[in-house]
């Protein structure tokens, strides 16, 4: 175990929200890449990658302990052990990057300059895909939306930004005394600044007033029947106070199945907004036994199809390989932890001039899935409940991923959350307005509809993947030259 490398990995947490200290990711990755390049064998490089990764993930996803212990009821020692095992699993990916970075055939400066950066982003992408994927705290997101590299997000997505970041670090650490390497990095940055000025999508119509509700209901009260009426009152009160043309309530704002909600309550919600539009998260029963969905419904347009969450959270909303992991639920108090999946592509809501595409909580971590709503959608909305992780930076980190999705799609992203971070994000990924976390309030603001397709929305991750293949092929071809 290399404690110094683990500390360098942990320091990366400051490159993400709420800090946005993007240079910390440069320093953290530089330490990793140099350590891998100086390793004496693929095995030694893997150990170094594992050490860095353990620090990286303990710092960036330590908040899973809160959900398991504080709200799930798991004993502290067991929750800590599960958190460590989760971080160790995730650390296997930079360990694989270290092994591959040393094992892949390469000559001279090609290994630190190209092969190691490619190995890192390739294994990072694998982490975002394997076993449904966990692309939380990916390196490219740390550069969004406030650095010059953010200009590339509408072109090649956050994965592509991560690739450029890794290549820049490879250029600087491979042979730092070569001026042409610094010039190449400067050129990448200047081009990024240039493409940031490009309007990839076009505003459609006038701005739309929106009201985003944040009920601030603690997780241990949200599903407690003793607080059921109070929870209903909270969101009815917020709905009545809302002024926007579109009013959005967060994930499972109504803590009951749609079929169990009193008709009078839904009538009160509709009366509160009149001719305006109300969208809310609500669990919905399916037709089969034990079939239920985490859904979003246009309460004021009940004839429109609901949106049901497609990408479920492993261990939170479904149990992968129950024979291996089902035991965990003997120690967790997690209501509605066996959701069914919605369809991969679902139509946006039609709310006046707005075509609003919904995604729920964890789904906006996946850029390749969010773009399925385009080009029909003119605006995006994420509804979440991160009360499971209160007291951590998880909500701010999650909001940064929404910023990445806004950049990639050239669309406004609305965020209505239970405890934070409720926000309005523009098509450039910038926070237009937000609410303080852990506060019962309404965020009133204006958003714009956009039409058109960014290059990333058209091509998805294929440009990034092609660049990986070409990069590895070039390094292999050069290594085999006589």
* Average confidence (pLDDT) over 296-308: 95
- On the question of pLDDT at 323 being above 80, the answer is no
Tell the burial category of 119 from Cβ atoms under 10 Å away from its Cβ (0-12, 13-18, 19+): buried
Catalytic residue among 8, 124, 222, 309: 309
Predicted model pTM: 0.94
* Average confidence (pLDDT) over 306-327: 71
* DSSP code, position 449: E
* Average confidence (pLDDT) over 311-323: 67
Where residue 480 falls among pLDDT bands split at 50, 70, 90?
confident
35-42 own/partner pairs: CB under 8 Å, 24+ apart: 35/2, 35/5, 35/98, 36/97, 36/98, 36/101, 36/102, 36/116, 37/101, 37/111, 37/112, 37/116, 37/173, 37/174, 39/98, 39/102, 41/102, 42/98, 42/99, 42/100, 42/102, 42/103
Which segments of the chain belong to CATH 3.60.110.10? 202-453
pLDDT given for residue 360 in this prediction: 96
Handedness of CA 334, 339, 345, 350 (dihedral sign): negative
- On the question of pLDDT at 390 being above 70, the answer is yes
Catalytic residue among 8, 82, 168, 361: 361
pLDDT given for residue 31 in this prediction: 97
Select the more confidently predicted residue: 176 or 389: 389
Determine whether 168 is an active site residue. no
* Average confidence (pLDDT) over 47-65: 97
pLDDT given for residue 191 in this prediction: 97
pLDDT given for residue 327 in this prediction: 54
The proportion of the chain whose per-residue pLDDT surpasses 70, expressed as a percent, equals 95
* Average confidence (pLDDT) over 114-119: 97
Determine whether 222 is an active site residue. no
pLDDT averaged over the chain? Answer: 92
pLDDT in tens, 131-147: 899 999 999 999 999 99
Of 52-56, 179-183, 295-299, 439-443, the one with minimum mean pLDDT is 179-183
Q: In CATH, what number does 202-453 get?
A: 3.60.110.10
Query: Judging by DSSP bridges, how do beta strands 292-298 and 349-351 pair with one another?
Result: unpaired
pLDDT given for residue 319 in this prediction: 60
- C-alpha angle 7/48/471, rounded to 5°? 110
- C-alpha angle 107/111/112, rounded to 5°? 140
Catalytic residue among 82, 222, 245, 251: 251
* Average confidence (pLDDT) over 61-66: 92
| Contacts for 282 with CB less than 8 Å, ≥ 6 apart | 252, 253, 254, 256, 257, 258, 261, 295, 296, 297
What angle in degrees, to the nearest 10, is found between the helix axes of 116-127 and 23-37?
120
Determine whether 301 is an active site residue. no
pLDDT given for residue 322 in this prediction: 54
- On the question of pLDDT at 224 being above 80, the answer is no
Where residue 482 falls among pLDDT bands split at 50, 70, 90?
very low
């Amino acid at each position: 175990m290399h404690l110094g490398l683990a500390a360098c990995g942990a320091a990366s947490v400051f490159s993400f929200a709420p800090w946005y200290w993007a240079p910390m990711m440069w320093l953290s990755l530089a330490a990793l890449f140099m350590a891998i390049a100086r390793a004496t064998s693929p095995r030694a490089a893997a150990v170094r990658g594992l050490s860095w990764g353990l620090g990286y993930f303990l710092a960036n996803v330590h908040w899973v302990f809160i959900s398991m212990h504080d709200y799930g009821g798991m004993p502290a020692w067991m929750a800590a052990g599960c958190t460590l095992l989760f971080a160790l699993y995730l650390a296997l990916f930079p360990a694989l990057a270290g092994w591959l970075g040393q094992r892949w055939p390469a000559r001279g400066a090609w290994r630190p300059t190209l092969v190691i950066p490619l190995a890192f982003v390739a294994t990072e992408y694998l982490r975002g895909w394997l076993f449904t994927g966990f692309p939380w705290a990916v390196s490219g997101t740390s550069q969004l939306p406030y650095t010059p590299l953010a200009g590339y997000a509408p072109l090649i997505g956050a994965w592509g930004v991560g690739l450029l970041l890794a290549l820049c670090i490879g250029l600087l650490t491979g042979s730092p005394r070569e001026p042409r390497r610094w010039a190449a990095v400067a050129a990448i940055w200047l081009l990024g600044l240039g493409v940031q000025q490009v309007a990839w999508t076009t505003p459609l119509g006038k701005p739309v007033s929106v009201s985003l509700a944040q009920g601030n209901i603690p997780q241990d009260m949200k599903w407690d029947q003793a607080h059921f009426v109070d929870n209903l009152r909270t969101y009815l009160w917020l709905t009545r106070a809302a002024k926007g043309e579109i009013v959005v309530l967060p994930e499972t704002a109504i803590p009951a199945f749609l079929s169990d909600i009193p008709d009078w309550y839904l009538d009160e919600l509709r009366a509160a907004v009149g001719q305006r539009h109300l969208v809310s998260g609500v669990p919905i029963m399916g037709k089969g036994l034990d079939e239920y969905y985490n859904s979003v419904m246009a309460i004021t347009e009940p004839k429109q199809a609901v949106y049901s969450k497609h990408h479920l959270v492993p261990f939170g909303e479904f149990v992968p390989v129950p024979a291996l992991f089902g035991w965990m639920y003997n120690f967790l108090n997690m209501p509605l932890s066996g959701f069914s999946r919605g369809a991969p592509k679902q139509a946006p809501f039609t709310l006046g001039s707005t075509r609003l595409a919904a995604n729920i909580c964890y789904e906006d971590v996946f850029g390749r899935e969010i773009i399925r709503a385009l080009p029909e959608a003119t605006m995006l909305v994420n509804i979440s409940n991160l009360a499971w992780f209160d007291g951590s930076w998880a909500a701010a980190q999650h909001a940064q991923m929404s910023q990445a999705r806004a950049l990639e799609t050239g669309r406004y992203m609305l965020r209505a959350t239970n405890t934070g971070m409720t926000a309005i994000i523009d098509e450039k990924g910038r926070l237009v307005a937000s609410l303080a976390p852990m506060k019962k309030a309404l965020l009133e603001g204006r958003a714009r509809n956009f039409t058109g397709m960014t290059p990333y929305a058209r091509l998805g991750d294929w440009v990034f993947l092609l660049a990986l293949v070409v990069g590895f092929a070039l390094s292999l071809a050069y290594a085999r030259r006589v």
